[in-house]
Amino acid sequence: MLFGREPVGNDIDTLAVVFDIPAMNQAFAPPHALTDVATRILALTEGETDAVALMATMACELFHSDDRFDWVGFYRRTGPEMLKIGPYQGGHGCLQIPFSRGVCGAAARSGQTQLVSDVDAFEGHIACAASTKSELVLPVFGMDGALIAVLDIDSDRPDAFTASDAAILEPLLAQVFAQAN
Ligand code: SME
Is 137 part of any domain?
Answer: yes
Q: Are strands 134-141 and 147-155 parallel, antiparallel or unpaired?
A: antiparallel
pLDDT at 5 over 70: no
Mutate-to-test residue for ligand 1 from 94, 96, 134, highest number of ligand atoms within 8 A of CB: 94
> Which residue, judged by its Cα, is nearest atom 3 of ligand 1?
126
The answer to whether residue 30 scores a pLDDT higher than 90 is: no
CATH number for the domain that contains residue 144: 3.30.450.40
Give the residue-averaged pLDDT of 26-52: 87
Helix and strand counts by DSSP (H, E) for the chain: 6, 6
Tens digits of residue pLDDT in 92-131? 999 999 999 999 999 999 999 999 999 999 999 999 899 9
- Residue 181 domain flag: no
Contact 49, 181 (CB under 8 A): yes
Atom of ligand 1 nearest to the CA of 135: 1
Ligand 1 mean position, distance from CA 152 (Å): 7
pLDDT grade for 167, boundaries at 50, 70 and 90: very high
List the Cα angle 48/145/154 in 5-degree steps.
Answer: 70
* Gap from CA of 134 to ligand 1 centroid (Å): 10
pTM: 0.87
- In this structure, is residue 169 part of a structural domain? yes
Question: Would you say residue 94 lies in a domain?
Answer: yes
Domain extent, residue 22, equals: 11-176
- Looking at residue 25, its pLDDT comes to 60
97 Cβ inside 6 Å of ligand 1:
yes
Domain assignment present for 161: yes
The full 3-state SS of 110-168, as one line of letters, equals HCCCEEECCHHHCCCCCCCCCCCCEEEEEEEECCCCEEEEEEEEEECCCCCCCHHHHHH
Pocket test for ligand 1, best of 89, 99, 154, 156 (most atoms within 8 A of CB): 154
Report the domain count for the chain: 1
pLDDT at 4 over 90: no
In a domain, 2, yes or no: no
Cα 59 to middle of ligand 1, angstroms: 15
Between 7 and 117, the more confident residue is: 117
For a pocket test of ligand 1, which of 104, 125, 156 has the largest count of ligand atoms closer than 8 A to its C-beta?
104
pLDDT attached to residue 24: 62
* pLDDT for the residue numbered 32: 78
Q: Is 37 within a domain?
A: yes
Whether 116 maps to a domain, the answer reads yes
CA distance 141 to 157: 28
